[in-house]
Structure 1
Amino acid sequence: MEQIKEGARLFKALSHPIRLCIVKGLIKEEGCNVSKIQYCLDIPQSTLSQHLIKLKDMGILKGERDGLNVNYYVINEEARRVIQTLFDY
């Protein structure tokens, strides 16, 4: 049952189109910063930050500081497999 609950949490985190797009994009191009993600999605920085926080809190992404920038990476292998299955990578 715990595995089912964890799967449901993962699907809930990925169920928003913006979060799904963020994770999909980071699988294709690891290490993007907020500016690049924001440019690609054409959304306000505050909206993007809220989604990044949710994905980090769920253990799907991590951010690594590089000077003034923070680069984001997908660290959850289950999320990676879901996206790859959905989009036939």
Structure 2
Amino acid sequence: MKDFLKRQFLLIRKDISDYLGGKIDLNKFIGNLEAVSEIIQDKKWKEVVFPIILGLEQINAGSIEFGDFLTEHDEILIRESMRALDIEVERFLQQIPDS
């Protein structure tokens, strides 16, 4: 189970990298994050990630409404969310015992 959880958190990290590298769009990132968060099944994780997902969903909805256009402000908020998410991923990874 420990290795399974680690893989899920590493998938989130990969998706952060893929989004920032332009390999996936924000909508795909959010969908992946929601799916992996459901798999993780940890109440504390959900409490941490829910506000991040909500913020990203609001940005995504606005961009879809205006033809998939992200403002500079949107981009800043997304990068801040990705940074916060990566910090939380690291924190949760550190809590998983090695063996």
TM-score normalised by L of structure 2: 0.32
TM-score normalised by L of structure 1: 0.34
Q: Which structure has greater strand proportion?
A: 1
Higher relative CO (CA 8 A, sep ≥ 6), structure 1 or 2? 2
- Asked which structure has the greater CA Rg, the reply is 2
Q: Which structure has greater helix proportion?
A: 2
